[in-house]
Amino acid sequence: MVELPAVIATHLTETIKKHAHEILTRQNVKSLIDNLKEQGGAVIDELIPAMMSVGDVHRVLQNLLRERISIRDLLLILETLAGVASRSKNIDVQTEYVRNVLAPQICEIYKNDDGVIPVITLDPNLEAKLEGAIQESDGIFRFSLSPADANRILEATGVQIEVTKQAGEYPILICSPTVRPQLKRLTEANFPELAVLSYNEIVPGIEIRSMGMITTE
């Protein structure tokens, strides 16, 4: 067997991680669930198809992979969905509940060598404005913002990302769980490298350190 050079192997791994949400098919998800039936049959029978279809689970898993969250603990993910699916059919809401349960894993991804997560915060006034601007369309929550307001937010975000990078840290934005998914959608085209976490995803014992604040005032 020919071994790939380390640089190529690393690049290939990163490429797969970046596009994992596109690579994962509905058939893949069905196979993964079928393989779990011996271990977690009761949960699976409760969840599928009574509360969620395989397609719905597929969409939740794609949401996680799109933000580089591992779906390795699929049984825990399905158990969480079984608990929330009866209360909300919205895929975004279901995804956020799963992210909360996977918080220890998320913190492990983003903490630095000192065990600290350096973050960019939101001006409380801006965060309140964004919470008031959330609207749902076709089952997806988005911000209803004027182009001018959106551009101001993106410009201010870009400034803080550069400050964070110059300090040698990975850019991570933290905000309330109410606006987290919408803020990721707003910023991902301009700043795909920006991780967006919610305060609910910070587990006890993990320190966060502010690197700057996004404000449009």
Fold annotation for 6-101: Helicase, Ruva Protein; domain 3 (1.10.8)
User: 182 with 150: CB under 8 angstroms?
Assistant: no
Q: Does the structure show a pLDDT above 60 at 206?
A: yes
pLDDT score of 8: 45
Q: Does the structure show a pLDDT above 60 at 9?
A: no
Q: Does the structure show a pLDDT above 90 at 3?
A: no
pLDDT score of 126: 97
Q: Does the structure show a pLDDT above 70 at 18?
A: no
pLDDT score of 40: 78
- Strand 134-137 vs strand 140-143: parallel, antiparallel, or unpaired? antiparallel
CA distance 97 to 77: 9
CA distances from 136 to 16, 93, 107 (A): 31, 12, 29
pLDDT score of 13: 47
Question: Does the pTM of the predicted model rise above 0.85?
Answer: yes
The domain ranges of the chain are 6-101, 112-214
Fold annotation for 112-214: Rossmann fold (3.40.50)
CA distance 151 to 216: 10
pLDDT tier for residue 17 given thresholds of 50, 70 and 90: low
Contacts of 64 (CB under 8 A, 6+ apart): 70, 71, 77, 95, 98, 99, 102
Burial category of 13 from C-beta neighbours within 10 Å (exposed 0-12, middle 13-18, buried 19 and up): exposed
- Is 43 strand, coil or helix? helix
Tell me the per-residue pLDDT of 101-148, one tens digit each, with 9 for 90 and over.
999 999 999 999 889 999 999 999 999 999 999 998 887 889 999 999
Report the mean per-residue pLDDT for the chain.
Answer: 90
Residue with tokens 């009761």: 42
CA distance 168 to 143: 31
